[in-house]
Amino acid sequence: MAPMLEQTEVAAPGPVPDPMLPMPYRIQRVRQETDDTFTLEILPEDSSSRFSFAPGQFNMLYVFGVGEVPISISSNPANVPLLKHTTRVVGTVTKAMRKLKRGEVMGIRGPFGSHWPVEDATGRDVVIVAGGIGLAPLRPALYRLMAEREKFRRIVLLYGTRTPDDMLYRRELEQWRGKFDLEIQVTVDRAASTWRGNVGVVTTMIGRAPFDPSNTLAMLCGPEIMMRFTVMELLKRGVAAECIYLSAERNMKCGIGFCGHCQYGPTFVCKDGPVFALPSIAAILGKAEI
């Protein structure tokens, strides 16, 4: 008689986690990044949590009694279950979130959405264009690229902020620049004469950035208008549209494509995005009606 080994090896399916049910996470640290941005470092209360995410995905962060907001995960995917979320203080929930202290508990749902195609960049140059707080959703991709640095050709980060004081992750960028073969060019919109770096919008750096447009994968995140102009410059330089990826932002609520709050043309940003290949949204990018 044949042994029943195969049957006993198949794990019984457990209960499917409810994507609408926030899981409790405890705040380990609140780090002020700039005047109006901060990073929450959180760990799950459930020590057996198997949470994992791909670079570019987001979570819904719930401040109990106040509300829930979508925020991209900005930590190293290899360091789960520790999660980091960087955000700007802009509304009621993020204001309340900024007041949370180490040891307090908040709710997390996720991860949701699509991710940066890091694996597709193997053997290619990688150009990352970030604007303002748009660097946060790109940081996990940078961690992944750095972890497997030998798989990629040139890696270029073009980062634009309003002023030098608005730069995110400054110390980490300096470390990466020194440690890895990584070209980092930072530009600011305006600066005092003491600033020794570039001044001007980030789109102006694309024309002279060191990459081979015929073999490049580009990842963009920042204000939509910045991404539109960045797309134009990348296309002008000769990067193929299908090799350009953007992270869109809309008013995500449920995170699973049910509520429709984040509808973007024929897509839902929470489910089909936030990371889109340019051809899939090129027709609606920048359309006032959408």
Partner 1 sequence: MIQTLEPILREHPFFQGMEEQHIRLIAGCSKNVRFGAGEVIFREGDSADHFYLIREGLVSVQFVIPHDGLTTVLTVGGGEVLGWSWLFPPYRWHFDARAQQPTHALAFDGKCLRAKCDEDHDLGYDIYKRFIQILNDRLEATRLQLLDVYGTHA
3-class SS at 161?
Answer: strand
Q: Minimum distance from CB of 128 to partner 1 (Å)?
A: 16
Q: C-beta of 236: minimal distance to partner 1 in Å?
A: 11
Cβ-based nearer residue to partner 1, 75 or 187: 187
Instruction: Give me the least distance between CB of 183 and partner 1, in Å please.
Output: 14
Considering beta carbons, is residue 104 or 166 the nearer one to partner 1? Answer: 166
Q: Whose structure tokens read 């053997």?
A: 123
Footprint on this chain of partner 1 (rule: CB under 8 A):
88, 90, 131-134, 160-162, 166, 187, 189-193, 195-201, 203-204, 208, 222-223, 225-226, 229
CB of 194 to partner 1, least distance (A): 9
Minimum Å gap between C-beta 91 and partner 1 is 10
Min. distance of Cβ 185 from partner 1 in angstroms?
A: 10
Q: Beta-carbon neighbour count of residue 241 at 10 Å?
A: 13
Shortest CB 206 distance to partner 1, Å: 11
Which CB sits closer to partner 1, 35 or 119? Answer: 35
Residue 19 vs 197, nearer CB to partner 1 = 197
| DSSP assigned state of 218 | E
* Closer by beta carbon to partner 1, 41 or else 166: 166
The SS3 of residue 205 is helix
| Torsion angles phi and psi, residue 118, rounded to 5 | -60, -40
Cβ closest to partner 1, residue 48 vs residue 193: 193
Name the CA radius of gyration of the chain, rounded.
20
Cβ atoms of 264 and 250 closer than 8 Å: yes
Q: Which long-range contacts (CB under 8 A, 24 or more apart) does 45-53 make?
A: 45/105, 49/23, 49/81, 51/23, 51/80, 51/81, 51/83, 51/111, 52/77, 52/80, 52/111, 53/77, 53/80, 53/83, 53/110, 53/111, 53/115, 53/140
- Token digits for 279? 């051809």
Burial of 153 (0-12, 13-18, 19+ CB in 10 A): middle
